[in-house]
Structure 1
Amino acid sequence: MRHIRPIIWIAGLFFLLVSSVSWAHPLRVVALEFSFAEDLTAIGIHPVGIADDGRPEQLIDLLKKFPYQSVGSRAQPNIEAIAALKPDLIIADRDRHQLISDQLQAIAPTLLLSSKRTSYSQSLKVAQKIAQAVAKTAQMNKRIAKQTRYFSSLKSKLRSCQQQRILFVISRASSLYAHAADSFVGSIFEQLGFVSAATGFTNDQPSRQINIEQLLWINPDIIVLGKYGRFALSKIWQHDLLWHALKAVKEHHVYSVQANIWVKGRGLLSAEQMATHLTNQLTGACS
Structure 2
Amino acid sequence: MSPLPRHPASPRTPWRTRTALLFLITALTAGCAAPAVSGSGNTDVATGGARFSTADAATAALGADVGPGVFPRTITHSAGQTRLDAKPTRVVVLDTGELDDVLALGITPVGVASPDGKVSPYLEPRIPGVTRLGPLDPLNLEGVAALQPDLILGSALRVEQLYPQLTAIAPTVLSIRPGFPWKENLRLVGAALGEEDKAVELLNAYQTKADAVRERLAGAPPTISLVRFMPGRLRLYGNLSFIGVILEDVGLPRPPTQDFDELATEVSEERIDQAAGDRIFYSSYGDPQTTGQDAVVNGALWARIPAVAAGHAQQVDDTVWFLGLGPLGADLVLDDLTRLLG
TM-score, reference length from structure 1: 0.81
Equivalent position SS for 1:54: coil
Distance 1:26 1:196, change over 3 A: same
**AA at the equivalent of 2:301:** L
Distance 1:191 1:201, change over 3 A: closer
- Please list every run of at least 4 consecutive aligned residues from structure 1 whose deviation after the TM superposition is greater than 4 angstroms: 19-22, 200-205
**AA at the equivalent of 2:278:** D
Higher mean displacement: 101-110 or 22-31: 22-31
| Superposition deviation, residue 276 in structure 1 | 0.7
The equivalent of 1:254 in structure 2 is 313
| Superposition deviation, residue 103 in structure 1 | 0.7
The equivalent of 2:117 in structure 1 is 54
- Map residues 209-224 of structure 1 onto 2, 5 A cutoff: 209-224=266-281
Distance 1:251 1:74, change over 3 A: farther
| Superposition deviation, residue 208 in structure 1 | 3.1
The equivalent of 2:237 in structure 1 is 179
Q: Supply the distance in 1 between the matched residues of 2:255 and 2:111 (Cα, whole angstroms).
A: 38
Q: Supply the distance in 2 between the matched residues of 1:161 and 1:31 (Cα, whole angstroms).
A: 41
The equivalent of 2:133 in structure 1 is 71
Q: Supply the distance in 2 between the matched residues of 1:138 and 1:217 (Cα, whole angstroms).
A: 42
Distance 1:23 1:219, change over 3 A: same
Q: Supply the distance in 1 between the matched residues of 2:218 and 2:330 (Cα, whole angstroms).
A: 19
The equivalent of 2:227 in structure 1 is 169
| Superposition deviation, residue 93 in structure 1 | 1.2
| Superposition deviation, residue 85 in structure 1 | 0.6
Q: Is the contact made by 1:89 and 1:111 (CA closer than 8 Å) also made in structure 2?
A: yes
Instruction: List per-residue Cα deviations over 1:122-168 (Å, max 9, x = no partner).
Output: 32111111111111111211222122212111221234461x22121
| Superposition deviation, residue 243 in structure 1 | 1.1
Instruction: List per-residue Cα deviations over 1:42-92 (Å, max 9, x = no partner).
Output: 111111111143333x24247634521111214432111111111000011
The equivalent of 1:24 in structure 2 is 86
The equivalent of 2:326 in structure 1 is 267
| Superposition deviation, residue 204 in structure 1 | 4.9
- Map residues 1-287 of structure 1 onto 2, 5 A cutoff: 23-52=85-114, 53-56=116-119, 58-61=120-123, 64-116=126-178, 118-119=179-180, 122-160=181-219, 162=221, 164-172=222-230, 174-199=232-257, 204=262, 208-227=265-284, 228-231=286-289, 232-283=291-342
The equivalent of 1:9 in structure 2 is none
Q: Supply the distance in 1 between the matched residues of 2:332 and 2:249 (Cα, whole angstroms).
A: 14
Q: Supply the distance in 2 between the matched residues of 1:81 and 1:169 (Cα, whole angstroms).
A: 37
**AA at the equivalent of 1:236:** A
Equivalent position SS for 1:147: helix
The equivalent of 2:15 in structure 1 is none
Equivalent position SS for 2:316: strand
TM-score, reference length from structure 2: 0.69
Structure with a larger share of its residues in helix? 1
Q: Supply the distance in 1 between the matched residues of 2:275 and 2:336 (Cα, whole angstroms).
A: 24
Q: Is the contact made by 2:225 and 2:236 (CA closer than 8 Å) also made in structure 1?
A: yes
| Superposition deviation, residue 215 in structure 1 | 2.7
Distance 1:28 1:268, change over 3 A: same
Q: Supply the distance in 1 between the matched residues of 2:257 and 2:233 (Cα, whole angstroms).
A: 16
The equivalent of 1:12 in structure 2 is none
Q: Any stretches of 5+ residues in structure 1 without a counterpart?
A: 1-18
- Quick check: which has more Rg, 1 or 2? 1
Q: Any stretches of 5+ residues in structure 2 without a counterpart?
A: 1-70, 74-83
Q: Is the contact made by 1:50 and 1:69 (CA closer than 8 Å) also made in structure 2?
A: yes
Seq. identity, %: 25
